[in-house]
Structure 1
Amino acid sequence: MKLNLFRKSLIASLASISFFSGVQAKQPAAADVRQTRFGALQLENGYPSKATAARLYDELDFQRATQAYLWALPAVGFKALYDAQAKTFGARNGDVVLYQTLKDKAGMLTPNITTLYAFSFWDLAKQGPLVIEVPAGLTAGGVLDIWQQPITDMGQTGPDKGAGGKFLILPPGSPEPVAPGYLIVRSPSNQIWFATRGLDPDKAVAEATVRRHRLYGWSQRDNPPTNAYVPVAGRPWQSAQPADLNYWRLLSELYANEPVAPGDRMLFGMLAPLGITPGQPFQPDARQAKVLTEAAQVGDLMARTIAYDKRIPGATVYPGKQWEYAVLFDLDQETPDKRRVQIDERSSWFYEAIGMSAGMQGRIVGFGQVYLEASKDKGGRWLDGGRTYRMRVPAGAPVKQFWSITLYDNLSRGPLITDQGAADLSSRKPDLVTNTDGSLDVSFGPVRPAGAANWIKTTPGKGWFAYFRFYGPTEAYFSKAWQLNDIEALKP
């Protein structure tokens, strides 16, 4: 009797539990909407709704791609310059392209207008090790990998110290040959870029010295071919990194046959869902293309902000002034303690410029170059092509060779060009007018101010920024005993 009553009670209890469980399972889930910086996201019992998942993936890929845009600036800058030489000028690997005039340099990021440039590219995987014979004389340059990290300097700041020498550039992973008399270095990438400048004040001597460089394959060393030197000859061209889908196409083409460094594998992993994988064709679908295009547009604006409105510690050269160091990263693009990549520091430079070498770091007394930049006037306002400014360059500029100031278009980052010609002035200019104390006043504006002898014309409606270069900086620059004055806006 007791057993039957227990069974009946147990069955009733279980039925009650099942009933209430069933009722709970049929109740609708409580609405769970999360407010985020990119809109409201709905969850269903903790899971993302279909629309939320799609939105989150789009945002995830967009954020990854904007950061990848900044990360890839030096690599895409390398590829854009290579394509300009190969497709616009018809230069083959090993040919040397000469950039001589303002028109020749118009498509280049922040070129110096005063000296001759010479560039060449080489593919170590396809063409084998490269020999570069560097002549004695006043040159400064070197060889860079695809991330524009210097493999070696050449010329005044190289191991040849301007006396000339033979360099042998080896591909990654290849055995080192017996090569007495050669300065042997190894590249981490297959594709490399040779660049140099002729620094002699006599332009004819500078060009003759540059033309004595010889580039050829190690396999051709017993009978080296004659180098082809290709003048730009004023042809229009452009090498700035694109701000559209072509940015990612260039990156993919660059890595068609390149080893991926350990530090770059994470970024390629982040780009894989967007159709960018080293060695694979770039064929994005409509969604991927849309995300990548938008990311390139925003990435460009991020890079522009990093370059012109620097938040990098130590960027300001002189306390209380607007001049900033253009170069704020080390040669390997990492902090000295190797704890991080200098992503903002290198983004700031490679958005504006191309190339890097030990000499360009601005740390060698009497040799190399220093690059200071200003995008704001003394009052902290953006430089405006419709306004008039003045700057006084103190006497005794601390240089062994020369100094120059050049203005650049803040959108193209190429030379600011007007009907006056190059927006540039150099201490090598023969008709500079100095003050009685040896200082020099430079005026900037759309119209020459009354009585202004040294005037650089600007264009209304265009923003601009300036580079002040010291060639062969001396101790007074490093000690800051000599300081550059700000660019001051004049009253209308």
Structure 2
Amino acid sequence: MQRIFRSTLVALAVATALPAHGQGAEIFPDPQIGLVMTPQKVAQAQEVEAYNLGMTAYTWGYPLVRLERVLREYIDVPANKPPTSYRAPLNRIGWATALSTAADTDMPTANNDTLYMSAVVRLTEPYVLSVPDTADRYYVVNVFDMYHDLEHYIGRRATGTRAGQFALVPPGWKGTLPAGVKALPVSTDQVWLWGRLHILQGEDTAPVLALQKQFDLRPLSQLGKAGYVAPQETLPPLPSIEGDELGFFTHLGYAMQHNRIKPVDEALVGQLERIGLTREQGFQPSKLTPEQLRGLKRALTDAPLVVGKATATATVLRNGWNIALLSEFGFNYPGRSLMAGPYLGGNLAEEAVYPIRYTDAEGKPLSGTNRYRITFDKAPPVGSFWSLTIYNAGSKLLVYNPIARYKVGSDTPGLQMGADGSFSIPIQHEQPQGAEKANWLPAPKGDFYLLLRLYQPAEGILNGEYALPQVERI
């Protein structure tokens, strides 16, 4: 009887697998049905699967690895900390006390408009950031989770410039905040605060430095207690990956063990167990076959290309300027990874827009061997300020020049404008003569690029109605 039953099941399975050949019925190819898995094909499949999952792991997990690495650098304060450095110990605020110049090499494409702020915060409880009244002076503090998702803004555009208190509330915390303290829930138990405070070109820095000292960060349990000083704490070192070809996955496994997985990513992270990545054990390459290891190595070669491709999809070309109108990333993991890499700490479009320019009106690379002119029909429509900064194309650093001018912007003293609000900026290596000298932006002898910063951009900038000016070679 059992033999008859088994035979019936086999017959039913075969009948179900075979397509119906009724009149006019379409036959669909299905390579899965007749597939015979030999040991060679199993090995091939293991490599292909590991490659695909490795690509997914990289594009999803790069921000975690990047922040675990870089935030350890940001809490490593040198004994002779330079004034442009914003490093500070864990759970403390670090401020740069001077604008970047051509002498500073620690940060490529640094602005010459704001003093930077950084704080790496481990949320054992809610931490309260108290901000002073800046009297309408522009500032912004970005609250990044460990996936480089910009979860909150604190500053002029989002919360105003009056004094206020903001509590960074970790997941799962149950409690009551004091009156007047605004709750900012975050997704991870560690966050990065990245700030900017505008300083006008040539202004006395003493009042601005005094203003910096009024920004305060402390645990909720220490709020209102005089004399509080954050204890000396640090983060444990990341696992050594010297000589480890799969070192990225080693660090990703560590990050997965020490950071919350977002609920929306639970299913994705579950798939990574098949390549030895788990929240409990980290990365376990010893459990993988040689074919799987080979697939992961290939993934580490190709995945950065997928992330880099996001540059083309995240930017638009307007009158020769590449402009990224970045917003929330959602499930666009390559886009988020791109932001966490070369654009670490960048604002999204509602806060600031950064058109970048590499070529002139004829599509030729910008070079200090030529002279250029940019003519604005009117000043860019922004709610705060704008600046045009020049950088050496090779080093991505500010350009040394005899008048120590690295940008021209809305705060440039003596900027010459026409009666109709138009103005021109000559860009060249040699200092121009006559009236043009007032608006001169000095260029290096070699190649360079331009970055136009637009803080609190108006809708005309976001939707393209405002025409960015052309770079004309004279």
The verdict on a shared fold, with TM-score over 0.5 as the criterion, is yes
Contact 1:316 1:322 in 2 (8 A): no
SS in 1 for 2:58: helix
How far, CA to CA, are the matches of 1:459 and 1:276 in structure 2? 47
Number of matched residues?
Answer: 403
1:394 Cα offset (Å): 0.4
Which residue of structure 2 aligns with residue 61 of structure 1? 50
Pick from 356, 373, 387 the counterpart of residue 373 of structure 1. Answer: 356
How far, CA to CA, are the matches of 2:294 and 2:368 in structure 1? 37
* Cα pair distance change 1:443/1:301, threshold 3 Å: farther
Q: Which amino acid aligns with 2:147?
A: W
SS in 1 for 2:388: strand
1:121 Cα offset (Å): 1.1
Which residue of structure 2 aligns with residue 171 of structure 1? 170
Please say if 1:206 is aligned against 2:208. Answer: yes
How far, CA to CA, are the matches of 1:393 and 1:296 in structure 2? 45
SS in 1 for 2:184: strand
Contact 1:109 1:353 in 2 (8 A): no
Contact 1:154 1:162 in 2 (8 A): no
Which residue of structure 2 aligns with residue 79 of structure 1? 68
How far, CA to CA, are the matches of 1:78 and 1:353 in structure 2? 12
Contact 2:76 2:89 in 1 (8 A): no
Contact 1:79 1:254 in 2 (8 A): yes
1:299 Cα offset (Å): 2.4
* Cα pair distance change 1:128/1:52, threshold 3 Å: same
Q: Which amino acid aligns with 2:453?
A: R
How far, CA to CA, are the matches of 2:250 and 2:367 in structure 1? 34
Q: What runs of 5+ residues in structure 1 fail to find an aligned partner?
A: 1-42, 231-242, 335-340
Q: Which amino acid aligns with 2:190?
A: Q
Deviations 1:357-385 (A, max 9, x none): xxx4333xxxx42222345554556x466
Q: Which amino acid aligns with 2:325?
A: V
1:19-34 equivalences under 5 Å are: none
1:303 Cα offset (Å): 2.5
Deviations 1:112-167 (A, max 9, x none): 2321011101111xx321111111112211322112223332121233x1101111
Which residue of structure 1 aligns with residue 397 of structure 2? 416
Deviations 1:257-295 (A, max 9, x none): 322112223432343333332242445359566654543
Which residue of structure 1 aligns with residue 185 of structure 2? 186
Pick from 211, 215, 218 the counterpart of residue 216 of structure 1. Answer: 218
* Cα pair distance change 1:265/1:130, threshold 3 Å: same
Which residue of structure 1 aligns with residue 149 of structure 2? 149
Pick from 394, 404, 418 the counterpart of residue 387 of structure 2. Answer: 404
How far, CA to CA, are the matches of 2:163 and 2:227 in structure 1? 19
1:8-27 equivalences under 5 Å are: none
Contact 1:70 1:343 in 2 (8 A): yes
Pick from 129, 136, 152 the counterpart of residue 132 of structure 1. Answer: 129
Contact 2:169 2:183 in 1 (8 A): yes
Contact 1:62 1:291 in 2 (8 A): yes
Which residue of structure 2 aligns with residue 390 of structure 1? 372
1:64 Cα offset (Å): 2.7
SS in 2 for 1:404: strand
1:219 Cα offset (Å): 1.7
Please say if 1:473 is aligned against 2:460. Answer: no
1:307-386 equivalences under 5 Å are: 307=311, 310-311=312-313, 315-316=315-316, 318=318, 321-330=319-328, 333-334=329-330, 341-355=331-345, 360-363=347-350, 368-375=351-358, 377-379=360-362, 383=365
How far, CA to CA, are the matches of 2:95 and 2:198 in structure 1? 14
Pick from 441, 447, 454 the counterpart of residue 425 of structure 2. Answer: 441
**Between the two proteins, what is the percent identity of the paired residues?**
20
Which residue of structure 2 aligns with residue 23 of structure 1? none
SS in 2 for 1:324: strand
Which residue of structure 2 aligns with residue 484 of structure 1? 468
Deviations 1:426-445 (A, max 9, x none): 3134476778984223437x
1:353 Cα offset (Å): 1.0
Q: Which amino acid aligns with 1:86?
A: I
* Cα pair distance change 1:185/1:482, threshold 3 Å: closer
How far, CA to CA, are the matches of 1:284 and 1:251 in structure 2? 13
1:49 Cα offset (Å): 4.1
Please say if 1:119 is aligned against 2:118. Answer: yes
1:329 Cα offset (Å): 2.3
Deviations 1:417-465 (A, max 9, x none): 5555999423134476778984223437xx65987942332755xxx75
Which residue of structure 2 aligns with residue 425 of structure 1? 407
SS in 1 for 2:261: coil
Please say if 1:456 is aligned against 2:420. Answer: no
How far, CA to CA, are the matches of 2:367 and 2:252 in structure 1? 34
Which residue of structure 1 aligns with residue 26 of structure 2? none
SS in 1 for 2:281: coil
Q: Which amino acid aligns with 1:362?
A: A
* Cα pair distance change 1:136/1:194, threshold 3 Å: same
Larger radius of gyration: 1
TM-score by length of 2: 0.71
Deviations 1:325-357 (A, max 9, x none): 323322xx23xxxxxx2345434533431235x
Q: What runs of 5+ residues in structure 2 fail to find an aligned partner?
A: 1-31, 79-86, 233-243
How far, CA to CA, are the matches of 2:198 and 2:184 in structure 1? 25
How far, CA to CA, are the matches of 1:386 and 1:71 in structure 2? 41
Deviations 1:395-416 (A, max 9, x none): 43123543223456789xx843
Contact 1:406 1:467 in 2 (8 A): yes
Instruction: Please give the root-mean-square deviation of Cα atoms over the aligned residues, in Å.
Output: 4.0
How far, CA to CA, are the matches of 1:244 and 1:101 in structure 2? 39
* Cα pair distance change 1:222/1:404, threshold 3 Å: closer
Bigger shift: residues 466-475 or 147-156: 466-475
How far, CA to CA, are the matches of 1:316 and 1:58 in structure 2? 37
Contact 2:323 2:355 in 1 (8 A): yes
Q: Which amino acid aligns with 2:269?
A: F
TM-score by length of 1: 0.68
How far, CA to CA, are the matches of 2:283 and 2:358 in structure 1? 37
